Chains A and B, each alone.
Chain A
Amino acid sequence: MKKCFAVLVVCLVLAACVLPAAAANGQVTYQKGAEKFIFLPGSEYSPTDLFPNFKDVMPGDSIQQKILVKNDAANNCKVKVYMRALGAHEDSAAFLSQLDLTVAKGTDTVMFDAPADQTAQLTDWVCLGTLYSGGECELIVTLDVPVTLDNRFMDLVGYLDWEFAVEELPVEPEDPRPPQTGDESQILLWAIVLAVSLTMIIVLLFSRKKKEKE
């Protein structure tokens, strides 16, 4: 009984430690089976919102948001991932034009550095990289709110759209092999082909013997 209680406490502590950290990240996940992206965590404003940290911002704030882009397809799926910005919604442009947004791939490569309502360097598709099954890359988005932002911009909501695309590529022999996490081969199909082939071979052998006897 004591052991059960101890395990329960440990689980609760772990959950408390892990959940807030997970919730603070945005996530873009490509799911092959569904042929679609899953955007997390979403918010009360948009189910595909990737900016949980950019809520209730105040003048002078400089806030970071990590976004993980993942290829969640099962084994042997190689994709090229792209993104582009579509800009702010019309009624959000005045507010978002006051804020500066930076998007960097990892800690080095800055892909976007402009007012948040703009499409700037992300007007055209930009490749984030090639991801194998289970692979991921990280975007670091930084929002700078000028200290001069005045009361006209208090308590506002700004919407901006991003698009992500994947292009599925054939896995080449020289590609690194991802760890096997399951068997996806169509066993039934191979079994049928094998059975038909074996049957035909047996029929052939049998008929040859019969002919030899004759």
Chain B
Amino acid sequence: MKAKARLLLIALAAIFVTVLTRPTLAYYTTIGKATNVVTSGDIQLQIHEKTADGSDFPAEGVYIIPGDIVSKQVSVENVCGHPFYLRVKLVSGSTNESLSADECLKLDIDTRNWTSQDGYYYYNQILQPGECTSALFTQVEIVGSKVDQTHVGSTLSLTVNAYAVQSENNPADHPWDASGWPAE
């Protein structure tokens, strides 16, 4: 009888022990690492130089004679994800000291969309991502009266330099008032 009572007690104890020990399981600690990333944006532009038929202006240049009108359409495209202000500087040059490139190259500047200020041509609008400006000029006229026989074999050049500065967090009444224009 005693042995059976003991068995009964053991059975009851088993039930209690399993119930009571349940909440006292060991506590866990878990650690995890997150690698967070910050990236900075950038400003990128692309200068397009085309001819009237839509083809690229030849990199090696073209042969000219006095009075020629050369088709050269210069525009700038925003190829980044941020809007920006834009300005362009035109630098002309000559291999002949007696030939002034400034005087003999005449450009049909688009003064409706571009404003000349401080030696730069400023695009009047903010250029949005993916947009392209109107052409700053579409043709270059070689002024005949400024060129003569002594200039045969000379080379005239016209370099287009474009500069952009972000318009986000950079309010300005006019593009030339914007802060942060890159140095030349």
Q: Which residues of A contact B (CB under 8 A)?
A: 28, 30, 35-37, 39, 43, 45-46, 48-51, 54-61, 86, 95-96, 99, 116, 143, 145, 147, 149, 151, 153-171, 189-190, 193-194, 196-197, 200-201, 204, 207-208, 211
Contacts and interface: CB of A to CB of B under 8 A. Distances in A.
Interface string B14-50: 1100100001100111111111111111110000000
B7 interface: yes
A197 B14 contact: yes
Secondary structure call for the B interface: mixed
A147 to B, nearest CB: 6
Contacts of A51: 36-38
Nearest to A190: B18
Contacts of B11: 196-197, 200-201
A36 to B, nearest CB: 6
Q: Which of A36, A37, A59 has the most CB of B within 10 A?
A: A59
Given A163-B32, A201-B8, 20 more contacts: A30-B30, A39-B32, A45-B37, A45-B39, A48-B33, A54-B36, A54-B38, A54-B39, A61-B168, A143-B38, A147-B179, A151-B182, A154-B40, A155-B42, A160-B38, A161-B34, A162-B36, A170-B24, A201-B11, A204-B7
A193 B15 CA distance: 7
B146 to A, nearest CB: 40
B30 A35 contact: yes
B39 A163 contact: no
A57 B36 contact: no
A84 to B, nearest CB: 10
B89 interface: no
A197 B60 CA distance: 100
Contacts of B29: 165-168
Nearest to A157: B39
Nearest to B42: A155
Chain B interface size, as a band, is: 35 or more
A96 B41 contact: no
A28 B82 CA distance: 31
B15 A197 contact: yes
Given A59-B169, A60-B169, A154-B41, A161 B35 contact: yes
Nearest to A46: B35
A190 to B, nearest CB: 8
Nearest to A116: B38
Contacts of A48: 32-36
A43 B37 contact: yes
13 contacts: A30-B30, A37-B32, A46-B36, A51-B36, A54-B36, A56-B41, A158-B38, A159-B36, A160-B38, A163-B32, A165-B30, A171-B23, A193-B18
A167 B37 CA distance: 27
Contacts of B34: 28, 37, 39, 48-50, 161-164
